[in-house]
Amino acid sequence: MKEKLVFIAIGGNSLIKSKDLQTVEDQHHAIRNTIRHVADLIERGYQVLISHGNGPQVGFIMRRSEVARRETGLHLVPLVNVVADTQGSIGYQIQQSLNNELATKGIAGQCVTVVTQVLVDKDDPGFENPNKPVGEFFDEAQLADIRRDYPDWTLVQDAGRGFRRVVPSPEPREVVERPVIESLLNSGYHVVAVGGGGMPVMQTDKGLEGLDAVIDKDLASSLLAGQMGVGLLIISTAVEQVALNFGKPDQKTISKMTVAEAERYIEEGHFAPGSMLPKIQASLRFLKGGGEEVIITAPEFIKDAVINGKGTHIVP
C-alpha cells in the first residue's frame, strides 16, 4: 500500500448534473470528467480508494421497478438489491473510466470494484425514521400526482432544491469485505468500495442477511478510511466549498475550519440534513478517529484542493 493513499468519496448527486442530464450515458460522461481529476492525483504518486453515492440512481431503479409492477405485474426489486445493482453499474463506470484515463496518460496501475456489504444493527432507529433522500427532485406541482401514485412514499424537502423520497438509513458498523480491500490495496490496485454506503446486512445464526435500507456513503467512507489508516479523505460533491447560511442572501463560503468550529456550525443549524450535514458529520468522525484532514469540494477542484488549497478543508 502506498504511503500517499487518499480516500475519495464521489457524491451521487454530482454525477447527475441536471434534470436534463439524468440518463445512464449522461452519468457515465460525468464520471469520465470526474475521474480525469482523480487520475491527476495518481499521476502525482497517489493511490486512491474510491466510494460513490447512489441516491439518485437508487431512486430511479426503485421507481422503474414500481412502474413495471404496476404496468405488467413484474416483481419488485428489494432495496438492498437495488444498492447492489448501483454498486455494480456505477463501479463499472468508475473503474473503466479510470483505467482508460491511466492508459491514456501512460500510467501503470489498474482499478477494480469490490461489491461491498456493511454490517448494521437490525434494531437501528434509522429503520423506524426514514431520512435518507433518494431519487430525483420533485417540485410542488408534481406532489399530488406522486402521492397518488406512490402512497407509501415518505417525501421531504431537500435543502431547498425540491422534494425527494426518503428511505431508512442505519449506521454502518463494520465493512465485511475489508480484508479483501486491504489485500487489493497492498497489491497496488486502486479500489472502488462501499459504493452507495454498501449493502446493509445483519448477522444471523444462518450467516449474513440483507436489509432494505441505504447507508449514508459518507459515513461508510469515513469508517473504512479510518480502518485503512488513510490520512486524507476527500468528499466530492456538487459545490466547490461548504457554505454557512446556504441559499440565503448572507451565504458565506468556508475555506478552512476546525472540528470545534464545524461542531458549532452544526449546532447553529447551518447544514441541511440529508445533504451537507452527513458530510460534515462523517468528516468529524474521521478526524476524531485519527484522520488528518478532510477536503469537501466539487470534482473539478479535486487536484487544486489537494495541491493548492481549493475547496473546504476540515482539520482536527
What are the residue numbers of the active site?
Answer: 12-13, 132, 217, 279
Residue 255, C-alpha cell as written in the block:
475555506
List Cα–Cα distances, 16 to 62, 156, 296, in angstroms.
Answer: 17, 20, 18
Cell (9 digits) for 305: 484542493
Distance from C-alpha of 31 to C-alpha of 195, rounded to nearest angstrom: 14
Angle, vertex CA 189, rays to CA 186 and CA 191, nearest 5: 105
Give, as one character, the DSSP assignment of residue 176.
T
Nearest to 9 by CA among 226, 314, 218: 218
Query: What is the chain's alpha carbon radius of gyration, rounded to the nearest angstrom?
Result: 19
Grid cell for residue 181:
480491500
CB 300 within 8 A of CB 33: yes
DSSP state of 113: E
Q: What are the C-alpha distances in Å from 198 to residues 28, 38, 43, 101, 159?
A: 20, 21, 28, 26, 24
- Amino acid occupying residue 269: G
Query: Phi/psi class of residue 240: alpha, beta or left (left: φ > 0; alpha: ψ in -120 to 50)?
Result: alpha
Chain centroid offset of residue 197 CA: 7
Burial class (CB in 10 A: 0-12, 13-18, 19+), 22: middle
Spatial CB neighbours of 268, under 8 Å, sequence gap ≥ 6: none
CA angle 12, 56, 114 (to 5 degrees): 50
